[in-house]
Amino acid sequence: MRGLVVTDAAKEFAGLKAMHAGAVLLKEGGQPVALMPAFGFTAAGEQTFKMDLLLVPFAHSGYITRLFFERQIQGRGSNWNQHRVIERNWWAPSWNHVPASMRWTQMLLAHLRAVA
């Protein structure tokens, strides 16, 4: 779904906004991306984290979709690499095959499994 219609992006973003009130819809290369500042989640077993996340619901850097993290999570995920997206440096583990056809809320959760 590389060419999401604006209303589709708005609808998908509304689901993320319901999950995280601070979410902001931005654009990268003309495509919608969702910034989730200070997003709280559990990873690395039972550790609680709070950091900025960036969901890219389209193909990016050789992956079908991407979730970028403010910083690496030690001992979780593999092959972390730094990327520059929306004028900011981000980290992402090697985690592929999360389809762009998923709802953005489902996509976020599927990506978070990489660091669970």
pLDDT digits (tens, 9 = 90+) for 48-68: 999 999 999 999 999 999 999
- Identify the pLDDT of residue 21: 97
Residue 7 in this model has a pLDDT that exceeds 90? no
Residue 19 in this model has a pLDDT that exceeds 80? yes
Using CA atoms, how far apart are residues 72 and 64, in angstroms rounded to an integer?
Answer: 20
Residue 102 in this model has a pLDDT that exceeds 60? yes
Residue 14 in this model has a pLDDT that exceeds 70? yes
- Identify the pLDDT of residue 103: 95
Q: Which residues contact 85 (CB under 8 A, 6 or more apart)?
A: 28, 33, 54, 56, 60, 68
Residue 113 in this model has a pLDDT that exceeds 80? yes
| Residue, of 84 and 46, whose pLDDT is higher | 84
Find the farthest-apart pair of alpha carbons in the chain and give their distance in angstroms, rounded. Answer: 39
- Identify the pLDDT of residue 44: 84
Question: How much is the pTM?
Answer: 0.92
